[in-house]
Structure 1
Amino acid sequence: MMLRSRPVVRWVAALAGVPLLLYLLALTWLWFRQERLLFYPEPWPSEDPPALKAPDVRSLWVEVPGAKLHALHLRQTNARGLVFFLHGNGGNLASWFVNTDFYRRAGYDLFMLDYRGYGRSSGQIASEAQLMGDVRTAWQQVSPQYAGRPVVAYGRSLGTGLAAQLAAEVNPALTVLVSPYRSMAALADEHYPMVPAALLRYPLRTDEAVGRIRGPVWLVHGGRDSLIPPAHSEALQALAGAQRVRLLRVPEAGHNDVHQFPAYLDGLSSELARL
């Protein structure tokens, strides 16, 4: 009797191992292809948006190892300073380079970069180190043009982790983080709790960087943000100290529309005026 049952036991054991095998295969795929989950670049549209055709907006290129990155620069006469803007994980400059009239009224130039593979930028994102290296190269290309004037490191969503790391290194006059996350591991744990944190090749530790930023930090978060909950901004403020880090909550805003609310626009205008 026992001898006859052994094939059945092996068959049951094999079936029990199928979910584990599928799980391991999924983790392997995630390790090698996680860029497809994190980055959503879009090709450049057939026609430039109207905002990009203004006479004070110019297109330029940032040379990085193995690629050329497209950037847009709103450059005014006698600008008070510069906002160095790192955008989110979708779209490209055609959809992100907006609110230019706001910056004109504030008297600040705006510089925005497309990451590798976004819009007109060539190449592909391959690692966090490469991504941060590209951001540093762009900063080094544009920020010396504003010597003696305030330069703001601004990050939105995905860009907040990059902006925080940059600010910890270069000490800008102000760091603005809109819809930030504590870390990519913390965010992944909320949305994909079955994925081990060690598997993430883009940890993007905003929580480690924010405490090393020496200048003022302004956080903005929509109260209805379900992608990156407001608790992330609250945790960052607690880590760095409320005296140096101010947090604006926009109760009615979600993740993608916070820049459209007067509370955000008035707040950013006030923060820039402080400089």
Structure 2
Amino acid sequence: MKIDYKKTGRRILRTILGISLLILGAYVFLYFRQERFFFNPKLLDKAYEYKFEQPFEEINIKVAEKIELNALLFKTRTASKGVILYFHGNAGAIHDWGKRASLYTDNQYDILFVDYRGYGKSDGFYSEEKQLYNDAQEVYNYVKTRYDESRIIVLGFSLGTGFAAYTAAKNNPKLLILEAPYYSWNTFIASIAPVPQMLINYEIPSYQFLSEVSCPVYIFHGSRDFLISPEENSKKLKALYPDKIHHIMIEGAGHNGIYITKQYYDILKNILAAPLTTALKETTSFED
């Protein structure tokens, strides 16, 4: 049988062209709609009633014209040592994140969980990076109206670590705690998806923010975190600022399992229970 090489070549060319157009279309779609991929919120009706076993206060914090972020403030049952401002990960909403409040209130700290735009009962949605920073600062400003800044701890998990690092860089909290942080958001996304870094609109350069942070920094990272690699992210941050960052590997923990480990609980208890200088000294033995 005689093979028509010209016809076969045209067929192959059309196939390659079709695949190329599909990839290009996907890149264009991602470029203009990437927020839908980066943020994975759980939406709640405005009439939704939160239910927890410990005392809490529901708050709406104005961050822009016609934009309020919904937040929950959990109070310790004893005399409060201060407050933890918690920036959560990219999924869910504070009706779930609030379930871990007792981990912190049991250590005599109030804790404020805040939902980002488009999450839970919060208004709006993000369309540019500067809105993230604006909201983080406005929330921090609100916290300062209720607590002395020397009693504020900023904590971020996963997506929230970039916001937490920014907030600590632009203000003067007592302490910054980062759980499963990324070096920068755009390099992290490019490392896990076949997306050119130039197409990612959100940089969120944690490594730059940390250069401006004046308070002590604790980083917790699971040794089995296969989403945000500790080697490519938190360990690189530690290497940049070895005298500023206390880096603790949580053995056997995955991306979402840090806070349920005894190792994390014990170290966190030391940090929150002891005077800051003592906590820093006692924690050095846990560093990676």
Normalising by structure 1, what TM-score? 0.89
Q: Residue 185 of structure 1: CA displacement?
A: 2.0
Q: Is the 8 A contact 1:80 1:149 kept in 2?
A: no
Q: Percent identity?
A: 33
Which deviations, in whole Å up to 9, do the C-alpha atoms of 1:148-173 show, x marking residues without a partner? 64211100010001101111111211
Secondary structure (helix, strand or coil) at the match of 1:247 reads strand
Q: Is the 8 A contact 2:150 2:173 kept in 1?
A: no
Q: Look up the match of 1:64.
A: 63
* Distance verdict in 2 for CA 1:20–1:103, change over 3 Å: same
Q: Look up the match of 1:123.
A: 124
Q: Look up the match of 1:251.
A: 251
Structure 1 residues 1-275: aligned runs within 5 Å: 13-44=13-44, 48-51=50-53, 54-55=54-55, 57-65=56-64, 66-76=66-76, 78-147=79-148, 149-192=150-193, 194-231=194-231, 232-241=233-242, 243-272=243-272, 273-275=274-276
Distance 1:83 1:169 in 2: 17
* Distance verdict in 2 for CA 1:149–1:208, change over 3 Å: closer
Distance 1:255 1:268 in 2: 17
Q: Which moved more, 1:6-15 or 1:37-46?
A: 6-15
- 1:60 maps to amino acid: I
Q: Residue 123 of structure 1: CA displacement?
A: 1.3
Q: Residue 11 of structure 1: CA displacement?
A: 6.6
Distance 1:199 1:31 in 2: 6
Distance 2:156 2:275 in 1: 19
Q: Is the 8 A contact 2:86 2:112 kept in 1?
A: yes
Which deviations, in whole Å up to 9, do the C-alpha atoms of 1:115-159 show, x marking residues without a partner? 111111121122221122111111101123222642111000100
Structure 2 unaligned blocks of 5 or more: 277-288
Q: Is the 8 A contact 2:41 2:120 kept in 1?
A: yes
Computed over aligned residues only, the root mean square deviation of the Cα atoms, in angstroms, reads 2.2
Normalising by structure 2, what TM-score? 0.85
Distance 2:252 2:6 in 1: 62
Distance 1:162 1:202 in 2: 12
Which deviations, in whole Å up to 9, do the C-alpha atoms of 1:208-257 show, x marking residues without a partner? 1112211110000011111111211111111112x221011111111112
Structure 1 unaligned blocks of 5 or more: none
Which deviations, in whole Å up to 9, do the C-alpha atoms of 1:100-123 show, x marking residues without a partner? 333233211111100111111121
* Distance verdict in 2 for CA 1:17–1:129, change over 3 Å: same
The number of residues matched between the two structures is 267
Distance 2:8 2:155 in 1: 62
- 2:158 maps to amino acid: S
Distance 2:174 2:49 in 1: 36
Q: Is the 8 A contact 2:43 2:119 kept in 1?
A: yes
Distance 2:266 2:93 in 1: 25
